[in-house]
Each structure stands twice: as structure tokens, then as C-alpha cells.
Amino acid sequence: MSRQEIDNFYLNLAEPNRACMLSLKEIITKCHPKITEEWKYRLPFFYLKGKMFCYLWIDKRTKHPYIGFTDGGFIDHPMLKQGDRKRMKILLIDPNQDLPLELLQEVLRMALNLRE
């Protein structure tokens, strides 16, 4: 992992996506003390106790950030979208709106419960 690659990923984003992604990063890393951020597949990936948990990326169609949950297929939440993914689901975030903190906490809690 290169800390510089992770930092550059965020710094190279245009606003409002940069601020949104940095806020999402903080929310994810603070939701559990054993979450770590790593650089994998050329994007920021978050691990819980050494196993892939979620990642941040930008939707190609909307250009909005999203959180991809590696075990999203096991999470039943109406705001998570699976599309043609087999295992993962994503939570799209509108960077022009206030972050939906209650929704984020709810979905993160559901994802954490799968691991505990």
C-alpha cells in the first residue's frame, strides 16, 4: 500500500466529489476501530479485521461517489443497488446534498453485523 497513492486519489478529485469522498472515508474509518484503509485495484479499499469490507469509487454514469460493499449481496436495504454485480451492492451518494448520515450509519451497521 502506498499512502501517497491513496492521498493522491482524493486530492485529484474535483469538488464537490473530493469533499464528499473525504467525508465518506472519515465516516467509514470511524465506524469500527479495526477498519483500515488500503490501496487495492487502484482505489481506496477498507478492510475490517484484514478482510475486504467496502471501497469508494465514482459512478461512471452519474459521476457521483458511491460506497461499494463487498458483502452487499447479503444486505437487504432498499437504497443499495446491485445492478449486474454478483456479490457487491453500492450506495450512491449525491455530492451536492448533505451526506445522509443516518442512512450511512444504518447501512454500515448492517454490513458490520454480517462480520460479527
Residues of the chain with pLDDT under 70: 1
How many Cβ atoms sit within 10 Å of the Cβ of residue 53?
25
Cα–Cα distance measured from residue 31 to residue 98, given in angstroms and rounded to the nearest whole number: 19
The x, y and z cell numbers of residue 35, run together, are: 477498519
What would the pLDDT profile of 6-27 be if each residue is shown by its tens digit?
999 999 999 999 999 999 999 9
Q: What pLDDT is attached to residue 4?
A: 87
Closest to 44 in 3D by CA, of 62, 21, 16: 21
* All domains of the chain in start order, with CATH: 3-115 (3.90.1150.200)
pTM for the whole structure: 0.93
